[in-house]
Amino acid sequence: MDILAKHSALAARHEELLRLGVDPFAVRLDEVLSPTLAVVRGRETILLGTNNYLGLTFDPACIEAAAEAARTLGTGTTGSRIANGTYGLHRELEEAFARFLDRRSCIVFTTGYQANLGMLVGLAGPRDVILLDSDSHASIYDGCRLSGATVVRFRHNDPEDLDRRLTRLAGKGECKLIVVEGLYSMLGDVAPIDAFVEVKKRHGAWLFVDEAHSFGVFGEHGRGVAEAQGVDREVDFVAGTFSKSLGAVGGFGASDHPAFDHLRFCSRPYMFTASPSPATMASTRVALQRIAEDPGLRRRLWDNARRLHEGLSALGLVLCAPASPVVAVRLADERSAVAAWNRLLDNGLYVNLALPPGTPGGLCLLRCSVSAAHSSDQIDEACARFARVADELDLRVPA
């Protein structure tokens, strides 16, 4: 039997997508003009699906820091953190994150995906129980599997269901770790972390929050949803990524636990991966400083998020959550979602096409992510292009 025959059903589904138009998973940005504009298929296109929430990918200070680090320290580390891959920049960035988050210590990882893998593998083991929000990111699911812990899913954003499951688990497992996200990346809905904190306290559990899409976006200082809800001190472990608000590639984990740094020699995803490049460390540190010093970035982001949400709602489109930097439009089925995505791209607007099984509840979505770098005119133009496609394909919901 062909070793790749197991993927034939997925391959057939992909072929069907190709027959409906452009391959949504292979869009090429031929030229990137700014955080919000690129040339796609020869046309200037508004980017509304990049996760570039604060628009820092073209920040001059970040670019210069990356270039200087590459000039003086080279293009890569060629080693893992525990071998030859820890540079002064890595330690300096960890200290900067710890200060920003007001945490005792921080560990930097090579990607956001590995931050979740490395944290969960180091925190939980075969004698423990992980209670996992059912809508969690793939990296969280994979980290749970690698940990060897017993995994129990609870209903999305449902503290009462979590409470019931913890009650049933009384006396089972050495430690119980609750894992949730701050802002969920597909629908743009926010976790009730304050309520999860109360459940955690009742049952003597530990709480892990992935603030990947909420870091730099929520809270007075930009620390995430837990800060915005006034409970960041009650979260035991926090993880995040560089690839959203920080405009780079990498990840971090932080905690006040006095033994947190033990993960450096017991977490395989940390121990056996080459460390982030000097350029990444340098640009991320400057981006972190920009977030700390310029709250106007968050204000512009939220102004744009509300403007887009209101504009698309006024068109009669079905939106999946209240206004946030992620605005997801729900379509009736896969064929209509693919058709709408193609027509938007034809109209010079790039959004994310999100389809099952990568979406919660089997939903078919056009996922938009807003940036502080978008102008009001770009947001309005994006809504106008949505309106044209909605009229053409009859996507509006009758009043």
Q: Which of 137, 156, 213, 309 is catalytic?
A: 213
Q: Which of 90, 137, 244, 374 is catalytic?
A: 244
Neighbours of 212 (CB within 10 A): 28
Q: Which fold has domain 59-293?
A: Aspartate Aminotransferase; domain 2 (3.40.640)
Output the six-digit token pair for 7.
């993927």
Whether 257 is catalytic is no
Whether 200 is catalytic is no
Q: Which of 136, 139, 185, 245 is catalytic?
A: 185
Mean residue pLDDT across the chain: 97
pLDDT, residue 383, reads: 98
Where are the CATH 3.40.640.10 domain residues in the chain?
Answer: 59-293
The torsion defined by the Cα of 292, 295, 296 and 302, in degrees rounded to 10, comes to 120
pLDDT, residue 281, reads: 98
Using 50, 70 and 90 to split pLDDT, how confident is the model at 200?
Answer: very high
CA neighbor of 260 nearest in space, from 233, 237, 235: 237
Question: What average pLDDT does the segment 7-35 reach?
Answer: 93
Domain 7-47+295-393 has CATH 3.30.470.10: no
Q: How far apart are CA 124 and CA 146, in angstroms?
A: 9
Whether 213 is catalytic is yes
* Full-model pTM: 0.96
Cβ contacts of 67-74, under 8 Å, gap ≥ 24: 67/279, 68/282, 69/277, 69/278, 69/279, 69/281, 69/282, 69/283, 70/277, 70/278, 70/279, 72/278, 73/278, 74/278
pLDDT, residue 376, reads: 98
Strand locations in 165-248 (E) = 176-181, 206-210, 237-241
Question: What average pLDDT does the segment 324-329 reach?
Answer: 98
Q: How far apart are CA 60 and CA 75, in angstroms?
A: 19
Contact status, residue 122 vs residue 270, Cβ threshold 8 Å? yes
